[in-house]
Amino acid sequence: MYDAIVVGARCAGSPTAMLLARRGYRVLLVDKATFPSDAISTHYLHYPAIARLDRWNLLDRVLKTGAPVIDRITWGMGDVYLTGTAPEWDGKRFAVAPRRKVLDKILLDAAVEAGAELHEGFTVEEILRDGDRAVGIRGRERDGTEVVAHAPIVVGADGIHSLVASTFEPAEQSGTPPLTAVWYTYWQGTDVDHLIFTRLDGRELFLVPTNDDCVNVMVGWRHHEFHEFRKDIPGNYHATLDLFPELAARVRRGRQVEPFYGTKQTRQWMRHPYGPGWVLVGDAGYHKDPIAGIGISDAFRQVEVLVDALDDGLSGRRDMAEALAGYHAWRDGSFSEVFQYYHRAATLDMLPPEMLQVIDSLRYDETERDRFMGIVGGYTPFKEFFSPENCQRILARAAEAGGLRETGGRTADSAWGDWSPGR
């Protein structure tokens, strides 16, 4: 009998198992993959994730892999480009973007070191139930040996194809159909040394430095174009690069060193995350389009709060259902606005001119420019940033500097209302 079974051992599951084991709980951690192994990912760890790696005493391990420190973000749309540094989080003001075969192995090893029992290459065939309550798992080892394990809580950290979620079919609080399709590969020897995100209508480019002097260069198209892109993957990839000539030239100073990877599995959801004997964390409960680039960071944030809740429930300090309801309330309060923003952003539409005018005016306001970069990390509130008062302050400073672009349109806050989700 275990105290907890964690299904899925990547960026949500291994930290959950690690932190529970560090608190003295007997934890079973299972995954169908073996490690080290790669996964579809943007790789980028925003400042909140860096702060958590530091608290978990794992940041030095990640940095020693050679993943470069990233201290700037360039954000572009149309002919508006800004470079800045997001606000610090718990004293940390840099990012890294390690390959998943590197990061996931570090997290997994830390869970095992803490005392979690790992079964990799393990196929979970069934979530065991007693009525509507999860009571354990049944699965098979790589050699075919059947294993049955029981615990008072089963944690679904098993990603977008979560067996835990499909077993209990939790209500979807928010959701969107898939809106994008993305393809990427790795380029070695470029001069790209920081995160670059840029967009034209219906096309997006995302560049982030990672291990081995490589840059992950990802292009985004609209979802319904996936099969068109697939007809000529290299040609369409390079044609997308050519829409951004300066960046294309920088990328092609290096050489492509891996095949193309792609996905159209970009449906977004925020599900009710718990029930009797089970709980969801990471993409299993809250999944965003990959253009957001914040999945790992959000998973780390969820993990800490979830482990506190599980500790309260397993220790008897609180009723487990009450503790998990607190986790649910925190998750929705922390991420609902971010989710709604990326719901809209994943259309790959351009922002209204009035909003781009405000963003362009940030060239004259370093403090607000850096706060804007926090939007990329999902922790500067969108509505607060684009409030009428803040927009007016930003535009006034640009006007004083003689750098205000004229749009002849509405105010930025009214344009935000039209652009925001649900309109």
- Strand-strand pairing, 255-256 and 261-263: unpaired
Q: Is the pLDDT of residue 409 over 80?
A: no
Summarised one tens digit per residue, pLDDT across range 301-321 is 999 999 999 999 999 999 999
Note the pLDDT of residue 421.
Answer: 41
Query: Does residue 75 contact residue 82 with C-beta atoms inside 8 Å?
Result: yes
Summarised one tens digit per residue, pLDDT across range 115-146 is 999 999 999 999 999 999 999 999 999 999 99
Summarised one tens digit per residue, pLDDT across range 255-265 is 999 999 999 99
Summarised one tens digit per residue, pLDDT across range 42-72 is 999 999 999 999 999 999 999 999 999 999 9
- Strand-strand pairing, 278-280 and 172-176: unpaired
Burial letters for 193-210: b for 16+ Cβ neighbours within 10 Å, e otherwise? Answer: ebbbbbbbeebbbbbbbb
For the chain, the distance separating the N- and C-terminal CA atoms, rounded to the nearest angstrom, is 50
Confidence of residue 402 (pLDDT cuts 50, 70, 90): confident
Sequence-separated (6 or more) residues with CB below 8 Å from residue 276: 132, 133, 134, 321
Using CA atoms, how far apart are residues 362 and 405, in angstroms rounded to an integer?
12
Show the tokens assigned to 14.
Answer: 């291994």
131: how many CB neighbours lie within 10 A of its CB? 7
Using CA atoms, how far apart are residues 167 and 272, in angstroms rounded to an integer?
13
Percent of the chain at pLDDT > 90 equals 92
In angstroms, the Cα distances linking 320 to 17, 98, 275, 317, 329 are 18, 35, 10, 9, 14
Confidence of residue 419 (pLDDT cuts 50, 70, 90): very low
147: left (phi over 0), alpha (psi -120 to 50) or beta: beta
The mean predicted confidence, pLDDT, of the chain is: 94
What is the torsional sign of CA 58, 61, 65, 71? positive
Q: Is the pLDDT of residue 344 over 50?
A: yes
Q: Is the pLDDT of residue 370 over 50?
A: yes
